[in-house]
Structure 1
Amino acid sequence: MKWENHSVMMEFTFLAYPSCPELRALSFLGVTLVYALIITGNVLIMVAIRSEAHLHTPMYYFLGSLSGVEICYTAVVVPHILANTLQTQKTITLLGCATQMAFFIGLGSIDCFILAAMAYDRYVAVCRPLQYPLIMTLTLCVCLAMASVVIGFFLSLQLVAFIFSLPFCHARGIEHFFCDVPPVMRLMCANSHTHEQSVLVAATLAIAVPFFLITTSYAFIVAAVLRIQSAVGRCRAFSTCSSHLTVVLLQYGCCAFTYLCPNSSYSAKQGQLLSLVYTLGTPLLNPLIYTLRNSEVKGALGRVLTRNYLSHKS
Protein backbone atom coordinates (compact mmCIF):
# COMPACT_ATOMS: atom_id res chain seq x y z
CA MET A 1 0.00 0.00 0.00
CA LYS A 2 1.31 3.47 -0.89
CA TRP A 3 1.19 5.76 2.12
CA GLU A 4 3.53 8.47 0.74
CA ASN A 5 0.74 11.02 0.34
CA HIS A 6 -0.94 10.19 3.67
CA SER A 7 -0.13 10.50 7.33
CA VAL A 8 -1.07 7.36 9.26
CA MET A 9 -2.34 9.68 12.01
CA MET A 10 -4.64 11.52 9.57
CA GLU A 11 -8.15 11.55 11.00
CA PHE A 12 -11.58 11.41 9.42
CA THR A 13 -14.76 12.66 11.07
CA PHE A 14 -18.11 10.88 10.76
CA LEU A 15 -20.91 13.33 9.97
CA ALA A 16 -23.98 11.08 9.91
CA TYR A 17 -24.58 10.88 13.66
CA PRO A 18 -27.43 12.93 15.18
CA SER A 19 -26.43 16.04 17.10
CA CYS A 20 -29.49 16.13 19.36
CA PRO A 21 -28.75 14.42 22.74
CA GLU A 22 -32.20 12.82 22.84
CA LEU A 23 -31.77 11.33 19.37
CA ARG A 24 -28.29 10.09 20.29
CA ALA A 25 -29.64 8.32 23.38
CA LEU A 26 -32.53 6.83 21.40
CA SER A 27 -30.16 5.68 18.64
CA PHE A 28 -27.81 4.12 21.18
CA LEU A 29 -30.62 2.17 22.86
CA GLY A 30 -32.10 1.03 19.53
CA VAL A 31 -28.79 -0.14 18.06
CA THR A 32 -27.84 -1.85 21.34
CA LEU A 33 -31.13 -3.77 21.39
CA VAL A 34 -30.81 -4.87 17.75
CA TYR A 35 -27.15 -5.84 18.26
CA ALA A 36 -28.04 -7.93 21.32
CA LEU A 37 -30.75 -9.72 19.31
CA ILE A 38 -28.30 -10.35 16.44
CA ILE A 39 -25.70 -11.90 18.74
CA THR A 40 -28.29 -13.93 20.65
CA GLY A 41 -30.05 -15.25 17.55
CA ASN A 42 -26.90 -16.26 15.70
CA VAL A 43 -25.26 -17.79 18.79
CA LEU A 44 -28.40 -19.85 19.47
CA ILE A 45 -28.36 -21.18 15.90
CA MET A 46 -24.69 -22.15 16.21
CA VAL A 47 -25.28 -23.85 19.58
CA ALA A 48 -28.36 -25.71 18.30
CA ILE A 49 -26.51 -26.99 15.22
CA ARG A 50 -23.50 -28.07 17.29
CA SER A 51 -25.56 -29.80 20.01
CA GLU A 52 -28.07 -31.63 17.78
CA ALA A 53 -26.55 -34.63 15.98
CA HIS A 54 -29.24 -34.77 13.30
CA LEU A 55 -28.26 -31.21 12.24
CA HIS A 56 -24.69 -32.27 11.43
CA THR A 57 -25.36 -32.06 7.70
CA PRO A 58 -23.85 -29.85 4.97
CA MET A 59 -26.84 -27.49 4.89
CA TYR A 60 -26.60 -26.76 8.61
CA TYR A 61 -22.80 -26.66 8.51
CA PHE A 62 -23.06 -23.74 6.08
CA LEU A 63 -25.86 -22.18 8.16
CA GLY A 64 -23.66 -22.33 11.26
CA SER A 65 -20.76 -20.83 9.30
CA LEU A 66 -23.05 -18.05 8.05
CA SER A 67 -24.12 -17.24 11.62
CA GLY A 68 -20.48 -17.09 12.72
CA VAL A 69 -19.63 -14.72 9.88
CA GLU A 70 -22.65 -12.53 10.72
CA ILE A 71 -21.45 -12.20 14.33
CA CYS A 72 -17.97 -11.12 13.20
CA TYR A 73 -19.41 -8.89 10.44
CA THR A 74 -21.51 -6.83 12.86
CA ALA A 75 -18.73 -6.77 15.48
CA VAL A 76 -16.49 -4.89 13.03
CA VAL A 77 -18.71 -1.79 12.93
CA VAL A 78 -21.56 -1.90 15.49
CA PRO A 79 -19.46 -1.45 18.70
CA HIS A 80 -17.68 1.45 16.96
CA ILE A 81 -21.05 2.96 16.00
CA LEU A 82 -22.24 2.67 19.61
CA ALA A 83 -19.07 4.30 20.94
CA ASN A 84 -19.29 7.16 18.43
CA THR A 85 -22.95 7.74 19.30
CA LEU A 86 -21.94 8.66 22.85
CA GLN A 87 -18.69 10.48 22.06
CA THR A 88 -18.34 14.15 21.19
CA GLN A 89 -15.45 13.56 18.78
CA LYS A 90 -16.55 11.00 16.19
CA THR A 91 -13.20 10.44 14.49
CA ILE A 92 -11.10 7.59 13.15
CA THR A 93 -7.48 7.48 11.97
CA LEU A 94 -6.49 6.63 8.42
CA LEU A 95 -5.11 3.25 9.50
CA GLY A 96 -8.20 2.56 11.60
CA CYS A 97 -10.47 3.42 8.68
CA ALA A 98 -8.55 1.16 6.30
CA THR A 99 -8.60 -1.71 8.83
CA GLN A 100 -12.32 -1.34 9.48
CA MET A 101 -13.10 -1.27 5.76
CA ALA A 102 -10.89 -4.29 5.05
CA PHE A 103 -12.65 -6.47 7.64
CA PHE A 104 -16.12 -5.15 6.82
CA ILE A 105 -15.78 -5.75 3.06
CA GLY A 106 -13.92 -9.03 3.61
CA LEU A 107 -16.55 -10.51 5.93
CA GLY A 108 -19.35 -9.22 3.70
CA SER A 109 -17.73 -10.95 0.72
CA ILE A 110 -17.34 -14.18 2.72
CA ASP A 111 -21.07 -13.92 3.51
CA CYS A 112 -21.86 -13.74 -0.21
CA PHE A 113 -19.68 -16.73 -1.12
CA ILE A 114 -21.09 -18.86 1.71
CA LEU A 115 -24.59 -18.11 0.40
CA ALA A 116 -23.36 -19.34 -3.00
CA ALA A 117 -22.03 -22.54 -1.37
CA MET A 118 -25.43 -23.02 0.30
CA ALA A 119 -27.12 -22.66 -3.10
CA TYR A 120 -24.84 -25.35 -4.54
CA ASP A 121 -25.71 -27.60 -1.59
CA ARG A 122 -29.44 -27.14 -2.32
CA TYR A 123 -28.82 -27.81 -6.03
CA VAL A 124 -27.15 -31.15 -5.26
CA ALA A 125 -29.86 -32.07 -2.72
CA VAL A 126 -32.72 -31.41 -5.16
CA CYS A 127 -31.21 -32.28 -8.54
CA ARG A 128 -28.89 -35.16 -7.57
CA PRO A 129 -30.38 -36.58 -4.36
CA LEU A 130 -28.96 -40.11 -4.76
CA GLN A 131 -25.41 -38.76 -5.13
CA TYR A 132 -25.79 -36.12 -2.40
CA PRO A 133 -23.88 -38.03 0.35
CA LEU A 134 -21.03 -38.74 -2.07
CA ILE A 135 -20.74 -35.18 -3.37
CA MET A 136 -21.42 -33.05 -0.28
CA THR A 137 -18.79 -34.55 1.99
CA LEU A 138 -17.40 -32.82 5.07
CA THR A 139 -14.13 -32.27 3.22
CA LEU A 140 -15.89 -30.43 0.38
CA CYS A 141 -17.90 -28.31 2.86
CA VAL A 142 -14.72 -27.28 4.71
CA CYS A 143 -12.98 -26.51 1.41
CA LEU A 144 -15.89 -24.34 0.22
CA ALA A 145 -15.96 -22.47 3.54
CA MET A 146 -12.19 -21.91 3.50
CA ALA A 147 -12.28 -20.83 -0.14
CA SER A 148 -14.97 -18.28 0.78
CA VAL A 149 -12.70 -16.86 3.50
CA VAL A 150 -9.60 -16.72 1.28
CA ILE A 151 -11.37 -15.18 -1.73
CA GLY A 152 -13.35 -12.74 0.43
CA PHE A 153 -10.32 -11.32 2.22
CA PHE A 154 -8.19 -11.37 -0.95
CA LEU A 155 -10.73 -9.21 -2.79
CA SER A 156 -11.13 -6.96 0.24
CA LEU A 157 -7.40 -6.36 0.74
CA GLN A 158 -6.92 -5.61 -2.95
CA LEU A 159 -9.79 -3.10 -2.94
CA VAL A 160 -8.74 -1.37 0.30
CA ALA A 161 -5.08 -1.19 -0.77
CA PHE A 162 -6.18 0.45 -4.01
CA ILE A 163 -8.53 2.97 -2.34
CA PHE A 164 -6.08 4.09 0.34
CA SER A 165 -3.23 4.51 -2.15
CA LEU A 166 -5.21 7.34 -3.79
CA PRO A 167 -4.83 11.00 -2.75
CA PHE A 168 -7.49 12.45 -0.45
CA CYS A 169 -8.81 15.98 -0.79
CA HIS A 170 -8.67 18.41 2.10
CA ALA A 171 -12.18 17.47 3.24
CA ARG A 172 -12.02 14.91 6.04
CA GLY A 173 -15.75 14.50 6.76
CA ILE A 174 -17.30 11.11 5.95
CA GLU A 175 -21.07 11.31 5.41
CA HIS A 176 -21.59 7.94 7.05
CA PHE A 177 -21.56 5.96 10.31
CA PHE A 178 -18.42 3.97 9.48
CA CYS A 179 -15.76 3.56 6.77
CA ASP A 180 -17.67 2.13 3.83
CA VAL A 181 -16.47 2.27 0.22
CA PRO A 182 -18.86 4.79 -1.45
CA PRO A 183 -18.60 7.61 1.15
CA VAL A 184 -14.80 7.26 1.43
CA MET A 185 -14.44 7.27 -2.36
CA ARG A 186 -16.18 10.65 -2.44
CA LEU A 187 -13.19 12.13 -0.59
CA MET A 188 -10.73 11.18 -3.34
CA CYS A 189 -9.12 13.86 -5.52
CA ALA A 190 -8.00 11.51 -8.30
CA ASN A 191 -9.78 10.73 -11.59
CA SER A 192 -13.05 9.46 -10.22
CA HIS A 193 -14.21 7.59 -13.34
CA THR A 194 -11.12 5.36 -13.57
CA HIS A 195 -11.17 4.53 -9.90
CA GLU A 196 -14.93 4.06 -9.91
CA GLN A 197 -14.50 1.41 -12.61
CA SER A 198 -11.83 -0.34 -10.55
CA VAL A 199 -14.09 -0.43 -7.49
CA LEU A 200 -16.94 -1.67 -9.68
CA VAL A 201 -14.80 -4.59 -10.89
CA ALA A 202 -13.98 -5.60 -7.31
CA ALA A 203 -17.62 -5.28 -6.26
CA THR A 204 -18.70 -7.35 -9.27
CA LEU A 205 -16.33 -10.16 -8.29
CA ALA A 206 -17.54 -10.12 -4.68
CA ILE A 207 -21.28 -9.65 -5.35
CA ALA A 208 -22.29 -10.40 -8.94
CA VAL A 209 -20.21 -13.58 -9.39
CA PRO A 210 -21.63 -15.45 -6.37
CA PHE A 211 -25.10 -14.12 -7.24
CA PHE A 212 -24.72 -15.57 -10.75
CA LEU A 213 -23.74 -18.92 -9.22
CA ILE A 214 -26.79 -18.76 -6.95
CA THR A 215 -29.22 -17.91 -9.76
CA THR A 216 -27.74 -20.67 -11.94
CA SER A 217 -28.19 -23.19 -9.11
CA TYR A 218 -31.78 -22.11 -8.57
CA ALA A 219 -32.54 -22.26 -12.28
CA PHE A 220 -31.61 -25.96 -12.22
CA ILE A 221 -33.52 -26.42 -8.95
CA VAL A 222 -36.72 -24.88 -10.34
CA ALA A 223 -36.45 -26.98 -13.50
CA ALA A 224 -36.01 -30.14 -11.42
CA VAL A 225 -38.87 -29.29 -9.04
CA LEU A 226 -41.28 -28.61 -11.88
CA ARG A 227 -40.63 -32.13 -13.17
CA ILE A 228 -41.85 -33.63 -9.87
CA GLN A 229 -45.32 -35.09 -10.40
CA SER A 230 -46.54 -34.85 -6.81
CA ALA A 231 -47.75 -31.44 -5.58
CA VAL A 232 -46.66 -32.39 -2.06
CA GLY A 233 -43.19 -33.26 -3.35
CA ARG A 234 -42.92 -29.92 -5.15
CA CYS A 235 -43.94 -28.01 -2.00
CA ARG A 236 -41.42 -29.95 0.10
CA ALA A 237 -38.61 -29.26 -2.38
CA PHE A 238 -39.41 -25.55 -2.57
CA SER A 239 -39.71 -25.26 1.23
CA THR A 240 -36.13 -26.51 1.68
CA CYS A 241 -34.90 -23.61 -0.48
CA SER A 242 -37.29 -20.78 0.44
CA SER A 243 -35.43 -19.63 3.57
CA HIS A 244 -32.10 -19.46 1.77
CA LEU A 245 -33.62 -17.66 -1.21
CA THR A 246 -35.22 -15.04 1.09
CA VAL A 247 -31.86 -14.34 2.75
CA VAL A 248 -30.16 -14.10 -0.66
CA LEU A 249 -32.64 -11.51 -1.94
CA LEU A 250 -32.22 -9.38 1.20
CA GLN A 251 -28.42 -9.57 1.16
CA TYR A 252 -27.81 -9.03 -2.53
CA GLY A 253 -30.53 -6.42 -3.00
CA CYS A 254 -28.92 -4.05 -0.48
CA CYS A 255 -25.35 -4.78 -1.63
CA ALA A 256 -26.20 -4.23 -5.31
CA PHE A 257 -27.78 -0.83 -4.61
CA THR A 258 -24.77 0.23 -2.55
CA TYR A 259 -21.75 -1.10 -4.44
CA LEU A 260 -22.86 -1.64 -8.06
CA CYS A 261 -24.38 1.80 -8.65
CA PRO A 262 -22.26 4.59 -10.22
CA ASN A 263 -20.60 6.95 -7.76
CA SER A 264 -22.29 9.91 -9.46
CA SER A 265 -25.72 8.58 -8.48
CA TYR A 266 -24.70 7.90 -4.86
CA SER A 267 -26.89 9.59 -2.26
CA ALA A 268 -25.44 10.01 1.25
CA LYS A 269 -28.83 9.67 2.98
CA GLN A 270 -29.80 6.63 0.90
CA GLY A 271 -26.40 5.07 1.55
CA GLN A 272 -26.78 5.58 5.29
CA LEU A 273 -30.22 3.96 5.29
CA LEU A 274 -29.07 0.99 3.21
CA SER A 275 -26.01 0.53 5.42
CA LEU A 276 -28.27 0.16 8.46
CA VAL A 277 -30.26 -2.49 6.58
CA TYR A 278 -27.30 -4.68 5.59
CA THR A 279 -25.35 -4.02 8.80
CA LEU A 280 -28.18 -4.52 11.30
CA GLY A 281 -31.30 -5.64 9.42
CA THR A 282 -29.97 -8.60 7.44
CA PRO A 283 -27.95 -10.18 10.31
CA LEU A 284 -31.06 -9.82 12.51
CA LEU A 285 -33.45 -11.29 9.94
CA ASN A 286 -31.22 -14.23 8.97
CA PRO A 287 -31.71 -16.22 12.20
CA LEU A 288 -35.40 -15.24 12.31
CA ILE A 289 -36.00 -16.43 8.74
CA TYR A 290 -34.15 -19.70 9.22
CA THR A 291 -35.86 -20.29 12.57
CA LEU A 292 -39.42 -19.42 11.60
CA ARG A 293 -39.31 -21.26 8.27
CA ASN A 294 -37.40 -24.35 9.39
CA SER A 295 -39.09 -26.82 11.74
CA GLU A 296 -35.83 -28.70 12.43
CA VAL A 297 -34.05 -25.55 13.63
CA LYS A 298 -37.09 -24.50 15.69
CA GLY A 299 -37.19 -27.92 17.34
CA ALA A 300 -33.45 -27.87 18.04
CA LEU A 301 -33.62 -24.37 19.54
CA GLY A 302 -36.55 -25.43 21.72
CA ARG A 303 -34.60 -28.41 23.06
CA VAL A 304 -31.49 -26.30 23.71
CA LEU A 305 -33.46 -23.64 25.59
CA THR A 306 -35.36 -26.29 27.57
CA ARG A 307 -32.13 -28.03 28.59
CA ASN A 308 -30.58 -24.73 29.68
CA TYR A 309 -33.69 -23.82 31.67
CA LEU A 310 -33.82 -27.18 33.42
CA SER A 311 -30.10 -27.11 34.22
CA HIS A 312 -30.37 -23.64 35.79
CA LYS A 313 -33.50 -24.67 37.70
CA SER A 314 -31.84 -27.75 39.13
Structure 2
Amino acid sequence: MGVQIIKTGKKVPYKKITNFDLEKILNTTDEWIKDRTGVISRFISTNETTTSLSIEACQDLLKENDVNLSEIGLIICATMTPDTIIPTVSANIKKALKIDHCITFDINVACSGFLYALSVAESMMKNLSIKKGIVVGVDLNSQLVDWKDRGTAIVFGDGAGSVLLSYDINDTSGIVSTFLDNIDDTENSLILKNISYKTPFNNLNNEFEFFKLEMFGPKVMKFAINAINTSISSVINLSKVSLNEIKYIVPHQANQRIIDAAAKNLKISKEKFYINIDNYANTSAGSIPIALDELNKNNLLKKGDYIILVGFGGGLSFGAILLKW
Protein backbone atom coordinates (compact mmCIF):
# COMPACT_ATOMS: atom_id res chain seq x y z
CA MET A 1 0.00 0.00 0.00
CA GLY A 2 1.77 3.17 1.13
CA VAL A 3 -0.40 5.97 -0.31
CA GLN A 4 -2.90 7.07 2.28
CA ILE A 5 -5.32 9.94 2.89
CA ILE A 6 -4.10 11.97 5.87
CA LYS A 7 -6.31 15.06 5.66
CA THR A 8 -9.63 16.07 4.14
CA GLY A 9 -11.30 19.35 3.28
CA LYS A 10 -14.38 20.76 1.58
CA LYS A 11 -16.05 23.97 0.46
CA VAL A 12 -19.59 24.59 -0.73
CA PRO A 13 -21.17 27.83 -1.96
CA TYR A 14 -22.72 30.27 0.48
CA LYS A 15 -26.25 30.08 -0.94
CA LYS A 16 -28.40 27.15 0.21
CA ILE A 17 -31.46 26.30 -1.91
CA THR A 18 -34.23 24.15 -0.46
CA ASN A 19 -36.88 22.16 -2.28
CA PHE A 20 -39.36 24.84 -1.26
CA ASP A 21 -37.26 27.39 -3.16
CA LEU A 22 -37.47 25.19 -6.26
CA GLU A 23 -41.24 25.01 -5.91
CA LYS A 24 -41.27 28.69 -6.87
CA ILE A 25 -39.55 28.16 -10.23
CA LEU A 26 -40.43 24.58 -11.19
CA ASN A 27 -43.56 22.47 -11.42
CA THR A 28 -42.58 20.35 -8.43
CA THR A 29 -42.99 19.92 -4.68
CA ASP A 30 -40.76 19.23 -1.72
CA GLU A 31 -42.46 15.87 -1.20
CA TRP A 32 -42.03 14.87 -4.87
CA ILE A 33 -38.30 15.69 -4.83
CA LYS A 34 -37.62 13.93 -1.51
CA ASP A 35 -39.52 10.82 -2.59
CA ARG A 36 -37.67 10.44 -5.91
CA THR A 37 -34.17 11.58 -4.96
CA GLY A 38 -33.74 11.94 -1.20
CA VAL A 39 -32.65 15.56 -1.70
CA ILE A 40 -33.89 18.25 0.70
CA SER A 41 -31.45 21.07 -0.07
CA ARG A 42 -28.37 21.89 -2.09
CA PHE A 43 -25.75 24.66 -2.31
CA ILE A 44 -25.77 26.74 -5.48
CA SER A 45 -23.03 29.07 -6.67
CA THR A 46 -23.71 32.79 -6.97
CA ASN A 47 -20.27 34.40 -7.12
CA GLU A 48 -18.18 31.28 -6.50
CA THR A 49 -16.28 29.55 -9.30
CA THR A 50 -14.83 26.08 -9.71
CA THR A 51 -11.41 27.55 -8.99
CA SER A 52 -12.47 29.52 -5.90
CA LEU A 53 -14.27 26.54 -4.36
CA SER A 54 -11.28 24.30 -5.09
CA ILE A 55 -8.81 26.72 -3.54
CA GLU A 56 -10.91 27.10 -0.38
CA ALA A 57 -11.36 23.32 -0.12
CA CYS A 58 -7.56 23.00 -0.21
CA GLN A 59 -7.11 25.81 2.31
CA ASP A 60 -9.50 23.93 4.59
CA LEU A 61 -7.32 20.87 4.04
CA LEU A 62 -4.16 22.75 5.08
CA LYS A 63 -5.60 25.11 7.69
CA GLU A 64 -3.61 23.60 10.57
CA ASN A 65 -0.38 24.73 8.88
CA ASP A 66 1.41 21.50 9.80
CA VAL A 67 2.23 20.45 6.24
CA ASN A 68 5.49 21.34 4.50
CA LEU A 69 4.19 22.71 1.19
CA SER A 70 7.50 21.94 -0.53
CA GLU A 71 6.66 18.22 -0.13
CA ILE A 72 3.48 18.58 -2.22
CA GLY A 73 4.56 17.45 -5.67
CA LEU A 74 1.22 16.67 -7.30
CA ILE A 75 -2.21 18.32 -7.60
CA ILE A 76 -4.97 16.66 -9.63
CA CYS A 77 -8.38 18.27 -10.02
CA ALA A 78 -11.31 16.16 -11.16
CA THR A 79 -13.98 18.35 -12.72
CA MET A 80 -16.26 18.65 -15.73
CA THR A 81 -16.93 22.34 -15.05
CA PRO A 82 -13.57 24.16 -15.21
CA ASP A 83 -13.98 27.94 -15.17
CA THR A 84 -10.65 28.19 -16.95
CA ILE A 85 -9.38 25.63 -19.43
CA ILE A 86 -5.97 27.30 -19.61
CA PRO A 87 -4.57 27.50 -17.00
CA THR A 88 -6.09 24.39 -15.50
CA VAL A 89 -7.97 24.56 -12.22
CA SER A 90 -5.16 22.54 -10.61
CA ALA A 91 -2.60 25.11 -11.80
CA ASN A 92 -4.75 27.85 -10.27
CA ILE A 93 -4.77 25.91 -6.98
CA LYS A 94 -0.97 25.57 -7.05
CA LYS A 95 -0.60 29.30 -7.63
CA ALA A 96 -2.99 30.19 -4.80
CA LEU A 97 -1.20 27.85 -2.37
CA LYS A 98 2.16 29.35 -3.41
CA ILE A 99 3.74 25.99 -4.17
CA ASP A 100 6.87 26.52 -6.28
CA HIS A 101 7.28 23.20 -8.09
CA CYS A 102 4.43 20.77 -8.56
CA ILE A 103 2.86 18.56 -11.23
CA THR A 104 -0.67 19.80 -11.95
CA PHE A 105 -3.43 18.67 -14.29
CA ASP A 106 -7.21 18.29 -14.49
CA ILE A 107 -9.19 15.23 -15.51
CA ASN A 108 -12.81 14.84 -16.55
CA VAL A 109 -14.54 11.53 -15.84
CA ALA A 110 -17.79 13.24 -14.83
CA CYS A 111 -19.10 11.98 -11.48
CA SER A 112 -16.47 9.20 -11.31
CA GLY A 113 -13.66 11.75 -11.57
CA PHE A 114 -12.52 11.74 -7.95
CA LEU A 115 -11.97 7.96 -7.93
CA TYR A 116 -10.02 8.06 -11.18
CA ALA A 117 -7.93 10.99 -9.95
CA LEU A 118 -7.18 9.21 -6.68
CA SER A 119 -6.01 6.13 -8.55
CA VAL A 120 -3.82 8.17 -10.91
CA ALA A 121 -2.34 10.04 -7.95
CA GLU A 122 -1.46 6.79 -6.18
CA SER A 123 0.36 5.50 -9.25
CA MET A 124 2.25 8.73 -9.89
CA MET A 125 3.29 9.18 -6.27
CA LYS A 126 4.72 5.67 -6.19
CA ASN A 127 6.41 5.90 -9.59
CA LEU A 128 7.89 9.37 -9.00
CA SER A 129 8.48 9.07 -5.23
CA ILE A 130 6.26 12.07 -4.45
CA LYS A 131 5.85 12.53 -0.70
CA LYS A 132 2.60 14.49 -0.69
CA GLY A 133 -0.19 15.03 -3.19
CA ILE A 134 -3.59 16.72 -3.36
CA VAL A 135 -6.67 15.44 -5.16
CA VAL A 136 -9.71 17.69 -5.56
CA GLY A 137 -13.16 16.74 -6.79
CA VAL A 138 -15.29 19.75 -7.73
CA ASP A 139 -18.22 20.67 -9.95
CA LEU A 140 -20.57 23.61 -10.47
CA ASN A 141 -23.52 21.68 -11.81
CA SER A 142 -25.75 24.75 -11.56
CA GLN A 143 -23.99 25.98 -14.70
CA LEU A 144 -24.91 22.84 -16.64
CA VAL A 145 -28.50 21.98 -15.80
CA ASP A 146 -31.62 23.33 -17.48
CA TRP A 147 -33.40 25.18 -14.68
CA LYS A 148 -36.70 24.64 -16.48
CA ASP A 149 -36.29 20.85 -16.41
CA ARG A 150 -37.35 19.41 -13.08
CA GLY A 151 -35.92 16.03 -14.03
CA THR A 152 -32.34 17.33 -13.75
CA ALA A 153 -32.48 20.64 -11.88
CA ILE A 154 -33.75 19.08 -8.65
CA VAL A 155 -30.94 16.53 -8.44
CA PHE A 156 -27.78 18.61 -8.59
CA GLY A 157 -25.76 20.96 -6.40
CA ASP A 158 -22.33 22.62 -6.36
CA GLY A 159 -19.33 21.86 -4.16
CA ALA A 160 -15.70 20.85 -3.77
CA GLY A 161 -13.95 18.22 -1.68
CA SER A 162 -10.23 17.63 -1.26
CA VAL A 163 -7.81 15.11 0.20
CA LEU A 164 -4.14 15.27 1.11
CA LEU A 165 -2.23 12.11 0.25
CA SER A 166 0.99 10.92 1.85
CA TYR A 167 3.33 8.30 0.42
CA ASP A 168 5.41 6.09 2.71
CA ILE A 169 6.57 2.79 1.23
CA ASN A 170 6.59 1.22 4.70
CA ASP A 171 3.06 2.32 5.66
CA THR A 172 0.48 -0.46 5.91
CA SER A 173 -2.43 1.99 5.58
CA GLY A 174 -3.77 3.40 2.33
CA ILE A 175 -5.30 2.11 -0.87
CA VAL A 176 -5.80 -1.67 -0.73
CA SER A 177 -7.49 -2.35 -4.06
CA THR A 178 -8.95 -0.44 -6.99
CA PHE A 179 -11.46 -1.26 -9.70
CA LEU A 180 -12.24 1.13 -12.58
CA ASP A 181 -14.22 0.51 -15.75
CA ASN A 182 -16.31 2.04 -18.52
CA ILE A 183 -19.20 0.79 -20.63
CA ASP A 184 -20.64 2.43 -23.73
CA ASP A 185 -23.59 4.75 -23.25
CA THR A 186 -25.35 3.22 -26.24
CA GLU A 187 -28.67 4.94 -25.53
CA ASN A 188 -27.22 8.41 -24.84
CA SER A 189 -28.68 8.40 -21.35
CA LEU A 190 -26.34 11.12 -20.05
CA ILE A 191 -25.07 13.80 -22.42
CA LEU A 192 -23.61 17.28 -22.23
CA LYS A 193 -22.37 18.81 -25.47
CA ASN A 194 -19.63 21.41 -25.41
CA ILE A 195 -20.16 25.02 -26.48
CA SER A 196 -20.01 25.40 -30.25
CA TYR A 197 -18.55 28.61 -31.71
CA LYS A 198 -19.17 30.09 -35.12
CA THR A 199 -16.08 30.19 -37.31
CA PRO A 200 -15.51 31.17 -40.96
CA PHE A 201 -15.54 27.44 -41.79
CA ASN A 202 -18.73 26.05 -40.22
CA ASN A 203 -22.44 26.55 -40.74
CA LEU A 204 -23.53 27.66 -37.28
CA ASN A 205 -26.21 30.32 -37.36
CA ASN A 206 -25.33 31.87 -33.99
CA GLU A 207 -22.07 33.30 -32.72
CA PHE A 208 -22.03 30.41 -30.22
CA GLU A 209 -24.44 27.82 -28.86
CA PHE A 210 -24.89 26.76 -25.23
CA PHE A 211 -25.94 23.25 -24.34
CA LYS A 212 -27.44 21.86 -21.15
CA LEU A 213 -27.16 18.50 -19.44
CA GLU A 214 -29.54 15.86 -20.81
CA MET A 215 -30.31 12.84 -18.64
CA PHE A 216 -32.67 9.91 -19.07
CA GLY A 217 -33.21 9.00 -15.44
CA PRO A 218 -34.48 5.37 -15.65
CA LYS A 219 -31.54 4.27 -17.82
CA VAL A 220 -29.02 6.02 -15.57
CA MET A 221 -30.56 4.44 -12.48
CA LYS A 222 -30.37 0.92 -13.92
CA PHE A 223 -26.74 1.45 -14.91
CA ALA A 224 -25.85 3.00 -11.53
CA ILE A 225 -27.27 0.16 -9.43
CA ASN A 226 -25.32 -2.42 -11.44
CA ALA A 227 -22.21 -0.23 -11.33
CA ILE A 228 -22.26 -0.04 -7.52
CA ASN A 229 -22.80 -3.78 -7.20
CA THR A 230 -20.01 -4.64 -9.66
CA SER A 231 -17.53 -2.13 -8.24
CA ILE A 232 -17.96 -3.08 -4.58
CA SER A 233 -17.81 -6.81 -5.36
CA SER A 234 -14.69 -6.28 -7.48
CA VAL A 235 -12.62 -4.37 -4.89
CA ILE A 236 -13.57 -6.95 -2.26
CA ASN A 237 -12.55 -9.82 -4.54
CA LEU A 238 -9.26 -8.07 -5.36
CA SER A 239 -8.39 -7.83 -1.66
CA LYS A 240 -8.13 -10.10 1.36
CA VAL A 241 -10.76 -8.01 3.16
CA SER A 242 -14.31 -9.28 3.66
CA LEU A 243 -17.41 -7.15 3.26
CA ASN A 244 -18.12 -7.62 6.97
CA GLU A 245 -14.86 -5.82 7.79
CA ILE A 246 -15.90 -2.65 5.93
CA LYS A 247 -16.74 0.19 8.36
CA TYR A 248 -18.34 2.52 5.81
CA ILE A 249 -19.19 2.59 2.14
CA VAL A 250 -19.00 6.13 0.75
CA PRO A 251 -21.01 6.20 -2.49
CA HIS A 252 -21.39 8.89 -5.10
CA GLN A 253 -24.40 10.84 -3.85
CA ALA A 254 -26.58 10.71 -6.97
CA ASN A 255 -29.92 9.43 -5.77
CA GLN A 256 -31.12 7.83 -2.53
CA ARG A 257 -33.12 5.26 -4.48
CA ILE A 258 -29.99 4.08 -6.30
CA ILE A 259 -28.10 3.54 -3.06
CA ASP A 260 -31.05 1.79 -1.40
CA ALA A 261 -31.44 -0.59 -4.35
CA ALA A 262 -27.70 -1.36 -4.45
CA ALA A 263 -27.65 -2.08 -0.71
CA LYS A 264 -30.60 -4.45 -1.10
CA ASN A 265 -29.00 -6.29 -4.03
CA LEU A 266 -25.71 -6.70 -2.15
CA LYS A 267 -27.55 -7.64 1.08
CA ILE A 268 -25.73 -4.84 2.92
CA SER A 269 -27.36 -2.79 5.66
CA LYS A 270 -28.21 0.71 4.45
CA GLU A 271 -26.62 2.02 7.65
CA LYS A 272 -23.20 1.01 6.28
CA PHE A 273 -23.60 3.54 3.45
CA TYR A 274 -22.69 7.09 4.44
CA ILE A 275 -25.34 9.37 2.96
CA ASN A 276 -25.46 13.17 2.79
CA ILE A 277 -27.40 13.64 -0.44
CA ASP A 278 -30.23 15.19 1.59
CA ASN A 279 -28.10 18.24 2.36
CA TYR A 280 -25.84 18.57 -0.72
CA ALA A 281 -27.64 16.83 -3.61
CA ASN A 282 -25.45 15.46 -6.42
CA THR A 283 -22.20 17.46 -6.56
CA SER A 284 -20.71 15.14 -9.20
CA ALA A 285 -16.93 14.82 -8.72
CA GLY A 286 -17.29 16.64 -5.40
CA SER A 287 -19.72 14.21 -3.79
CA ILE A 288 -17.38 11.47 -2.52
CA PRO A 289 -14.66 13.78 -1.09
CA ILE A 290 -17.31 16.01 0.55
CA ALA A 291 -18.85 12.96 2.23
CA LEU A 292 -15.40 11.69 3.19
CA ASP A 293 -14.59 15.03 4.82
CA GLU A 294 -17.77 14.85 6.88
CA LEU A 295 -16.89 11.36 8.06
CA ASN A 296 -13.40 12.47 8.98
CA LYS A 297 -14.32 15.78 10.64
CA ASN A 298 -17.04 14.08 12.70
CA ASN A 299 -14.47 11.58 14.01
CA LEU A 300 -16.35 8.62 12.55
CA LEU A 301 -13.18 7.07 11.15
CA LYS A 302 -10.45 5.46 13.24
CA LYS A 303 -7.01 4.32 12.17
CA GLY A 304 -7.24 0.85 10.70
CA ASP A 305 -10.85 1.16 9.53
CA TYR A 306 -11.63 -0.23 6.09
CA ILE A 307 -13.84 1.92 3.86
CA ILE A 308 -14.97 1.69 0.25
CA LEU A 309 -15.38 4.69 -2.04
CA VAL A 310 -17.68 3.86 -4.95
CA GLY A 311 -18.87 5.99 -7.84
CA PHE A 312 -20.38 6.09 -11.31
CA GLY A 313 -20.97 8.73 -13.93
CA GLY A 314 -21.12 9.80 -17.54
CA GLY A 315 -19.28 7.88 -20.16
CA LEU A 316 -20.50 5.54 -18.68
CA SER A 317 -17.73 5.31 -16.08
CA PHE A 318 -17.68 3.59 -12.70
CA GLY A 319 -15.39 2.14 -10.07
CA ALA A 320 -14.45 1.73 -6.44
CA ILE A 321 -11.46 2.06 -4.14
CA LEU A 322 -11.02 0.06 -0.95
CA LEU A 323 -8.71 1.74 1.52
CA LYS A 324 -7.44 1.25 5.05
CA TRP A 325 -7.69 4.46 7.06
TM-score (normalised: structure 1):
0.31
TM-score (normalised: structure 2):
0.30
Higher helix proportion, which one? Answer: 1
Higher alpha-carbon Rg: 1
Higher strand proportion, which one? Answer: 2
